[in-house]
Amino acid sequence: MIEAMIVDDERLARKDLRAVLEKFPQVKVTGEAANVAEALELLEKLRPQVIFLDVEMPEANGFALLEQLETVPHVIFTTAYDAYAIRAFEVNALDYLLKPVTEKRLAESLDRLETATVTASPSAYLNTSEKIFVKDGERCWFVPLSDVRLLEAAGNYIRLYFGKHAPLLARSLQSLEPRLDPKHFFRASRKHIVNLDHVEQVSVLDNSLLELQLADGTHIPLSRRQSILFRELRGI
């Protein structure tokens, strides 16, 4: 069963989409929201696998909602306008449906959704296959945590390093750390959290502190306390 949520400021649009979704027994609509504020509250409670998201809404649009999410479920945009299609696919939306949504087009979207959905064991930690939404200026990404090799504190922001990119995420390192699985992520210092899957080499410095070398050549020194902890955890 695919749990879905509808976010649209127009009541009739929500009703029409729900009516079409009812023709697909594999989908269960667990909630509806009329604006970004309602959607944020419901998403935290319901954690659906997919959002059917309108673009243009009063006060804040659908893209603004995605920017505020810690983790992003699959997104299928539903809108009366085609002007946002390119931007929608830049943020890796599964599909972009024009209203009124037809049964045929919805079936195509659900096929994509079923292909993309990966079942993960429930956990207090974020699964490394989960994607986080990052926006830096006009550029947007849905980044799998597994691709993030380094998280660096930058005031009240986090700089994420993945591929050739290093955008800022509007969260503090302290707020995100409890959600990161310690099997994969290690707090190297007050400033850095390292994805251990990207560590290529561990070196011992002259002062007996450890230094991690990432696959991209970046060197991250560990604080004294974290060097001791890393040795204990890794048997070094």
pLDDT of residue 78: 93
Calculate Rg over the CA atoms of the chain.
20
Q: Yes or no: say if 194 and 213 are a contact pair by the CB < 8 Å rule.
A: no
Judge if 77 and 179 occupy the same domain: no
Judge if 51 and 110 occupy the same domain: yes
Per-residue pLDDT of the chain (236 residues), as tens digits, is 899 999 999 999 999 999 999 999 999 999 999 999 999 999 988 989 899 999 988 888 888 888 777 667 889 999 888 777 767 766 668 889 999 999 999 999 998 888 766 444 445 688 888 888 887 777 888 888 999 999 998 877 899 999 999 998 877 787 788 888 988 999 998 889 999 999 999 999 888 899 999 999 999 999 888 898 898 887 76
Q: Yes or no: say if 53 and 62 are a contact pair by the CB < 8 Å rule.
A: yes
Residue 122 lies in a domain: no
Look at the chain and report how many structural domains it folds into.
2
CATH number where 69 lies: 3.40.50.2300
Of 65, 91, 116, the position where a domain reaches its end is 116
CA end-to-end span of the chain = 46
Of 88, 116, 144, the position where a domain reaches its end is 116
Question: Domain residues for 84?
Answer: 2-116
Beta strand 74-79 with 50-53 is parallel
Q: Yes or no: say if 76 and 113 are a contact pair by the CB < 8 Å rule.
A: yes
Judge if 149 and 103 occupy the same domain: no
pLDDT of residue 119: 43
Residue 9 lies in a domain: yes
DSSP 64: H
pLDDT of residue 103: 95
Q: How far apart are CA 236 and CA 230, in angstroms?
A: 8
Q: Yes or no: say if 141 and 160 are a contact pair by the CB < 8 Å rule.
A: no
pLDDT of residue 91: 64
Judge if 182 and 91 occupy the same domain: no
Judge if 94 and 147 occupy the same domain: no
Residue 33 lies in a domain: yes
CATH number where 167 lies: 2.40.50.1020
Residue 125 lies in a domain: no
CA 183 from chain center: how many Å? 19
Judge if 11 and 96 occupy the same domain: yes
Judge if 110 and 13 occupy the same domain: yes
pLDDT of residue 114: 82
Beta bridge partners of 101: none
pLDDT of residue 120: 46
CA 220 from chain center: how many Å? 25
Residue 136 lies in a domain: yes
Structure tokens at 66: 């995605």
pTM, to two decimals? 0.56
Beta bridge partners of 203: 211
Instruction: Give the number of other CB atoms < 10 A from CB of residue 165.
Output: 14
Judge if 11 and 112 occupy the same domain: yes
Residue 81 lies in a domain: yes
DSSP 35: S
pLDDT of residue 122: 46
b (16+ CB within 10 A) / e for 116-133: eeeeeeeeeebbbebbbb
Judge if 110 and 136 occupy the same domain: no
Judge if 179 and 140 occupy the same domain: yes
pLDDT of residue 175: 75
